[in-house]
Amino acid sequence: MVTWSVGQIAKDFDLTETAVRDWVKQAEVDAGERDGLTSSEREELAALRRENRRLREDADVLKRATAFFAKETR
């Protein structure tokens, strides 16, 4: 069995050790070996946050339009 150090892998692939460690941790989460959000859960969370932001912007536009038209009809 070959064991490689994070430092050696980072050096071999011209990466930072922090990036390699983060990838290893995420792989452990995805494999169920460590607690945390899986990659798919992270993707879903990011998508939901984008949708939430868009919906808030849409609601803000509708509020402004309602106020504008309410003022115009008086």
Pick the residue with more confidence: 9 or 2?
A: 9
Is residue 31 within 8 Å of residue 39, measured between CB atoms? no
Mean pLDDT of the chain, nearest integer: 95
Q: Does residue 63 or residue 4 have the better pLDDT? A: 63
Give the whole-angstrom CA distance, residue 31 versus residue 24: 10
At 38-68, the pLDDT tens digits run 999 999 999 999 999 999 999 999 999 999 9
Q: Is residue 4's pLDDT more than 90? A: no
- Rounded CA separation 68/74 (Å): 11
Upper half-sphere CA count for residue 15 (Cβ side, 13 Å): 15
CA distances from 23 to 6, 8, 16 (A): 11, 15, 11
Provide the whole-model pTM.
Answer: 0.71
